[in-house]
Structure 1
Amino acid sequence: MGERSYVLVTERYPCRVNAVGRARDLAVQAYAAIPWVDHEVIRLLVSETATNAVLHSGGGEFDLICHSPCDGAIQIELHDRSAKEPERRTHAVLDSHGRGLELLDLLAPGWSVETTLTGKGLIFSLEGDGTA
């Protein structure tokens, strides 16, 4: 029988660019005492998912939820107020944007999107070596 996860931290942010860094820092801080967690992967994926919420959800707010380690993995959720699913975007090789879903595929391949009563939640898990 597996372990049970609990919420370590949850925070609501306005959909503004300056909130992305705050969400990223909170997520890294939430897992700072867990040595097997790849904090740089957390930093990158929370930055990408929070930026997507800010740029593509149509405004309002987004919520960051960080779960305790469970069965050798952590789970992070980012909820926004838009029911629109994330879209893959085409980009040129040198573009600095448009790669968020590719990064999720590479670093947290089991990620998912769930429709909620208030919009959607993007959920990803990371195992001890920083991969899902």
Structure 2
Amino acid sequence: MLATVAFACRPDTVAEARTWATKLYALAGGAVPDACELLVSEVATNAVLHAGGPEYTVSVLNDLSIAVWDSSSAMPQKRATDEESTCGRGLELLELLAPGYEVVPDNAQGGKTIRFTPKGW
């Protein structure tokens, strides 16, 4: 693991999490920082909106994957969206920009981790 940072589960921390992860990812040689930025923003936003815990963590791993942990054990579900929808596209974005992403329950501390490797577009 390169680094992990915990962020308070508040909307104003999403930009900080996105910036931190994208900079570290790029410094480590990540080839698609735009995809990293978008996906960290999406997954961190979901942690803030849906997890309900005091914090979430963002990790940049040695293999240039990103892991976002939150305290909710509820697994994400695909939603029906249309061109007017303002939310509900997180799993679609992960499928497009990080094929092979995984959502893993965290049996040690509770909650779940979403791990992905940005692939770009």
Distance 1:93 1:115 in 2: 32
Secondary structure (helix, strand or coil) at the match of 1:79 reads strand
Q: Which residue of the other structure, out of 107, 111, 115, is the alignment partner of 1:123? A: 115
Q: Which residue of the other structure, out of 73, 81, 100, is the alignment partner of 1:91? A: 81
1:60 equivalent to 2:54? Answer yes
Query: 5+ unaligned residues in a row in structure 2: which ranges?
Result: none
Secondary structure (helix, strand or coil) at the match of 2:45 reads helix
Higher helix share: 2
Query: 5+ unaligned residues in a row in structure 1: which ranges?
Result: 1-6
Structure-2 change in CA distance of 1:47 and 1:14 (3 Å): same
Higher strand share: 1
Deviation by residue 1:20-79 (Cα, 9 ceiling, x = unmatched):
1011000111023355511110000000000110111123210001012x3xxx210000
TM (norm. structure 2) is: 0.90
1:8 equivalent to 2:36? Answer no
Deviation at 1:91, TM superposition (A): 2.2
Q: Which residue of the other structure, out of 113, 118, 121, is the alignment partner of 2:103? A: 113
Q: How many residues align?
A: 119
TM (norm. structure 1) is: 0.83
Distance 1:58 1:97 in 2: 18
Structure 1 stretch displaced more, 42-51 or 27-36: 27-36
Alignment partner, residue 3 of structure 1: none
Q: Which amino acid aligns with 2:31?
A: V
Structure of higher CA gyration radius? 1
Identity %: 39
Q: Which amino acid aligns with 2:35?
A: V
* Two-structure CA RMSD over aligned residues (Å): 1.6
